[in-house]
Structure 1
Amino acid sequence: MAKEEVTVTVGGPGGNRELRISSSSRVLWPELGLTKLDLAQYLIDVGDSFLAGNGNRPLTLQRFSDSIEGEHFFSKNPPRGAPDFVRSVMVVYPSGRSHPQLVIDEIAAAVWAVQMNTVVFHPWASRAGNPDNPDQLRIDLDPQPGTGFEDAITAAQGLRSVLSEAGLESFIKTSGNRGLHVFCPIEPNHEFLEVRHAVIAAARELERRMPRTVTTAWWKEERGTRIFVDFNQANRDRTMAGAYSPRALPGATVSCPIGWDELERVTTTDFTITTVPQRLKASGDPWADMHAKPGTIDVLLQWWERDLAAGLGELPFPPDFPKMPGEPMRVQPSRARNKG
């Protein structure tokens, strides 16, 4: 068993840093016996790819009081006493309030976050230097009851075609759970609301082509046994587990980038904190060149305007958002009918 407190050496741009890991033998994943020290070592092993996916972005930490089976909370601003190599950036939340948000610039900061009992890392879709304008268009394909990973694969392949027609190159990763995340690198020329509209336009086009497979219905009672294209993940301050982030799930799965050619022969349980380091050593990072040639959302915004002209307007926002222009009533359809 590991000692209760150990020191790990983490390389970085400023040289080696010696970081303390207290309670290093604390078991985070009880089914596998994986510990806090195992998680710290995982992040060191995948450091370059983890930073490429999550570094230089406003970041939210999902922190646990004990194991993944215990209580957790989300931490956005750097906790008191953060080391000087952990910085923050001011961001504006949907409420209009501004607040500092954590930013990770080197893997030592991620290891420090593990010391602060972080398991899951949630990066924004924008960079720290331009937090209001995303440089990633993100779409979450969320299997509903009665559907699963194979259904998400079918939806992802259809979505890839839709995005390609809109002039965007797409990249894919497992969610670490049952779904898939599709990302497109974009020029950071549009604010979150416009990117959300682009996502809705792509989702509606996919729904038209695959009505029995996918849905854009926000209310669960209307989704049926289809894959929900979660357009609200494109909102400001809405995040999903980052690339190479562990998940707080029994199998210690990782939200792992994959190649499109791998999609039909993998399962989400293939990628864990014990298997991903060797995978990266053997085959490299499928997302290594993601931002080499960013696209634009111009075509998708044209589709949005086309759909508006056809009577398809705004869709509901999350319940904690202020009421938005053109938004329909935030009332569950069955309740609205009963009231009528």
Structure 2
Amino acid sequence: MPQVYVEKRKLRLTNLSKVLWPDDGITKADFINYLAQVSPYILPHLKDRPMVFTRYPDGIYGKAFYQKNIPEYEPEWLETFETISDEDKIIRYAVINDKESLLWAANQASIELHPWLSRKGAPDCPDFAVFDFDPMENTDFEDARELALALKKLLDLQGLKGFAKTSGATGLQVYIPLEPVYTYEDVRIFTGFFCRVLEKTFPEKATTVRSVDKREGKVYLDYLQNIKGKTIIAPYSPRPRKGAPVSCPVTWEELEEGVTPDMFHIKNMSERLRQKGDLFSGVLTQRQRIDKWLK
């Protein structure tokens, strides 16, 4: 088992030749190398957030599992955050604040990285709101793209700044950076208001209905992602799909021009970041207030 030093900490890397994306010949070593390359860009979006991982030890077509509680064999230096579940059980989340912790997670075949919407210092107050555009049966990314652009116009009219990214699958997400002074319920009220406006404006294309069997042919506007403990795929996290697509921040101009999610993947994301930088950096710095939509 090879051992490497990352920032003076020793990591044991295992099964590096394991193929995680069989269609593309992408191995676990390639995956770890990808996260090492993009670590300066992804780490600020994970900082101080409890993490949930989706692990694929046998590759994307093998059995996967969703992991909240970190394993007992975690390194002693790994930062954690404890909370009590609804069943009164202690959950120990990993907190990924440095490159060595990120590569430790990669070595666990944690292909999908899901951070909380709030940080451990203020766990009840998210510092961004998420609009999740999720295409249902007989809809696709193009439908989500049109609705996200419609949301952009609404936000512009209200003087709010939003940042878009592909989900890496068929959907889109728009983040609204916030001052971390609002409860999750506040954020749900805020996002729910805008989602209902979109639903009424595009009744043939958008829905907030929770019953899955009533969503066919529409894009589900999932404002209920804004709940404590719920997570959203991190920017620059890969997805377990053919082509190794990545959840990628995009400009509104790119959305208008008609980008597609398969354009952004493990093999070209590092070069895109070198050229464009972190298009999601404003989510971390451009804090906004939403008081008037809560009155």
TM-score computed with the length of structure 2 as normaliser: 0.94
Partner of 1:55: 47
| CA 282–55 in structure 1, closer or farther in 2 if over 3 Å, else same | same
Question: How far apart are residue 139 of structure 1 and its match?
Answer: 1.3
Partner of 1:318: none
Question: How far apart are residue 234 of structure 1 and its match?
Answer: 1.2
Partner of 2:269: 276
Q: Is the 8 A contact 2:143 2:219 kept in 1?
A: yes
Question: How far apart are residue 8 of structure 1 and its match?
Answer: 4.2
Identity of paired residues, percent? 35
> 2-side partners of 1:9 and 1:41: how far apart?
14
**Which residue among 253, 257, 260 is the counterpart of 1:261?**
253
**Residue identity matched to 1:171:** F
**Residue identity matched to 2:286:** K
Question: How far apart are residue 22 of structure 1 and its match?
Answer: 0.8
| CA 85–289 in structure 1, closer or farther in 2 if over 3 Å, else same | farther
1:110 matches 2:106: no
Q: Is the 8 A contact 1:162 1:205 kept in 2?
A: no
Secondary structure of the corresponding residue to residue 128 of structure 1: coil
Question: How far apart are residue 186 of structure 1 and its match?
Answer: 0.5
**1:263-320: CA deviations, max 9, x gaps?**
1332101111111011101121101232222112223324xxxxxxxxxxxxxxxxxx
Partner of 2:2: 6
**Which residue among 276, 289, 295 is the counterpart of 1:296?**
289
Secondary structure of the corresponding residue to residue 153 of structure 1: helix
1:240 matches 2:223: no
**Which residue among 99, 112, 119 is the counterpart of 1:120?**
112
List alignment gaps of at least 5 residues for structure 1: 303-340
Partner of 1:80: 72
Partner of 1:205: 197
> 2-side partners of 1:192 and 1:153: how far apart?
26
> 2-side partners of 1:132 and 1:62: how far apart?
23
Partner of 1:327: none
Q: Which is greater in Rg?
A: 1
After superposition, where does 1:1-340 map in structure 2 within 5 Å? 5-10=1-6, 15-93=7-85, 98-263=90-255, 264-302=257-295
> 2-side partners of 1:93 and 1:139: how far apart?
25
Aligned length: 294
**1:186-216: CA deviations, max 9, x gaps?**
0111222221222211111121222222111
Q: Is the 8 A contact 1:253 1:269 kept in 2?
A: yes
Secondary structure of the corresponding residue to residue 126 of structure 2: coil
Q: Is the 8 A contact 1:93 1:236 kept in 2?
A: no
**1:132-170: CA deviations, max 9, x gaps?**
110010111011111111111100011122233444210
> 2-side partners of 1:62 and 1:259: how far apart?
27
Q: Identify the structure with bigger relative contact order (alpha carbons < 8 Å, sequence gap 6+).
A: 2
Q: Is the 8 A contact 1:186 1:294 kept in 2?
A: yes
Q: Is the 8 A contact 1:54 1:243 kept in 2?
A: no
Question: How far apart are residue 258 of structure 1 and its match?
Answer: 1.1
Question: How far apart are residue 229 of structure 1 and its match?
Answer: 0.2
Question: How far apart are residue 98 of structure 1 and its match?
Answer: 4.9
Question: How far apart are residue 224 of structure 1 and its match?
Answer: 3.6
| CA 182–96 in structure 1, closer or farther in 2 if over 3 Å, else same | farther
Question: How far apart are residue 21 of structure 1 and its match?
Answer: 1.4
List alignment gaps of at least 5 residues for structure 2: none
> 2-side partners of 1:241 and 1:262: how far apart?
20
Q: Is the 8 A contact 2:69 2:92 kept in 1?
A: yes
